Structure 1
């Protein structure tokens, strides 16, 4: 559930049902710390995935499956810098989301001219108009970065609406975005392989139950960053169409 309070309620319901394990994403860790302490007190093993690597252990998870978002951002920034980009616009669709903020911080660490643009990710019409206005105002913007496939696909429309020469880059992946990379409309994306995160999280909890196994040695298990660009997008596309990338 995208609402932090509702997510905490869902975790509480799982505790009440005496489940064998809980896999949870920690996009808003402050909203979950109390209920995860209850899970720990109840002896329910917890793993985190996708977001919240930096706080996973302190909130009681025995490991985290995901991409280091700062590292992913730096990978994007390094690739952009190598291609000569100097003025990226990094679009954050949920202010305060620790993973999204870290992604843009990583980009900015490698390309200091990066600007942050906050949009309302729940309203794609607003995303499109806000990004269009930014591109019209920031004539030196040479690349705009979406932090998720649906956002990036909307930013393509903004570039057209603004008659901007800015290129488009992305984080994350779906089949439509993979096709845009194949077509050359998006220059690249960084994939954190979320299908794999979910699979490994459930498997880790199962192994903890069946044999007391604990993966990760107390450290996160990284599933990214993995660059998808013109050189490998065609290979990735077939898996994205199957829903596993």
Structure 2
């Protein structure tokens, strides 16, 4: 049995046992306290889905959970992690965006104080390997392979060929988080596509709407661009706004990106977005809460759970659209 299959089986067992926990003792993990990082800002198209998943776990399982919103800023996540350690909860579920170098000493400090730590959305491989036996797991997509999958699928759907131009708007500047961006770029270059890369600024990272002039300016300077990939859920959800501002019509430039949301669902149906890789962020909220509860009460080791899913486009959007409207997909 592969590690991925084993993880999936274990997760299935844990989820199936939740009704037993509830029936046996009411809220089974009421004595567990957790600080959870949804990643972005309240109302953010991606972070809000992560938050809904975490809230569902809080309601189902009974732990006391406090939330820290970080606007997707790595420096803010580091500062907030320090504050979270000072509050001395039973566990902390972090977003891994700041990377191993920034987080390693803080995780060491938390573990030394008896605080469980686990991560979601962005892997911290060395830390996970060091503390897996102490409950440090991971819930999220495998970043580099996800970038490859999305870019290859999008290029095929867009009919790109060698010599065509594409733009990738991503986060190469972030140590581990940037691996997904790198996967996108590598996949396109392998096809022979000419790739223009733009780094997502802190301003746009926190406020997707502020990226409108960036895209408009880029398209004006590169009228031959055939595809734009946004490696950021909120930016993907805003692609229609960007392309309208550049006086483009739906489908004139193939838009692709990550993370399904109600806004992205509408953009797919309207033709602004042609392909999205859904990493199922609701699970990135629910399962880290479950991980900490199980590690705290039963000493379970960290589980590594890949939430990366198939590509969503106009051929299969109708099935998941109602779930996206509910903030589950």
Specify the TM-score bucket, using the shorter chain as the normaliser. 0.7 to 0.9
**Structure 1 residues 98 and 241: alpha-carbon distance in aligned structure 2, compared to 1, 3 A threshold:** farther
8 Å contact 2:230–2:257 — kept in the other structure? yes
Q: 1:68 pairs with 112, 127, 142, which one? A: 142
Per the TM alignment, residue 125 of structure 1 is displaced from its structure 2 partner at its CA by 5.1
Partner of 1:178: 265
**Structure 1 residues 119 and 49: alpha-carbon distance in aligned structure 2, compared to 1, 3 A threshold:** closer
2:81 equivalent to 1:7: no
Query: Secondary structure of the residue that 2:89 maps to in structure 1?
Result: coil
Partner of 1:211: 298
Per the TM alignment, residue 91 of structure 1 is displaced from its structure 2 partner at its CA by 1.0
Larger radius of gyration: 2
Q: 1:102 pairs with 168, 179, 193, which one? A: 179
8 Å contact 2:169–2:199 — kept in the other structure? yes
Matched residues, number: 241
TM-score (norm 2): 0.67
Deviations 1:167-206 (A, max 9, x none): 1111112111112212332111111111101110010110
Partner of 1:32: 103
Deviations 1:84-122 (A, max 9, x none): 224221112x56234552222111221112221124313
Q: Distance in 2 between matches of 1:140 and 1:95?
A: 24
2:307 equivalent to 1:223: yes
Could you tell which deviates more after superposition, 78-87 or 38-47? Answer: 78-87
Q: Distance in 1 between matches of 2:75 and 2:156?
A: 42
Q: Distance in 2 between matches of 1:157 and 1:53?
A: 34
Partner of 1:114: 195
Per the TM alignment, residue 43 of structure 1 is displaced from its structure 2 partner at its CA by 2.4
2:229 equivalent to 1:145: yes
Gaps of 5+ in 1: none
Q: CA RMSD in A?
A: 2.2
Per the TM alignment, residue 124 of structure 1 is displaced from its structure 2 partner at its CA by 4.2
Partner of 1:198: 285
Partner of 1:80: 154
**Structure 1 residues 10 and 161: alpha-carbon distance in aligned structure 2, compared to 1, 3 A threshold:** closer
Could you tell which deviates more after superposition, 120-129 or 228-237? Answer: 120-129
Gaps of 5+ in 2: 1-69
Q: Distance in 1 between matches of 2:107 and 2:184?
A: 31
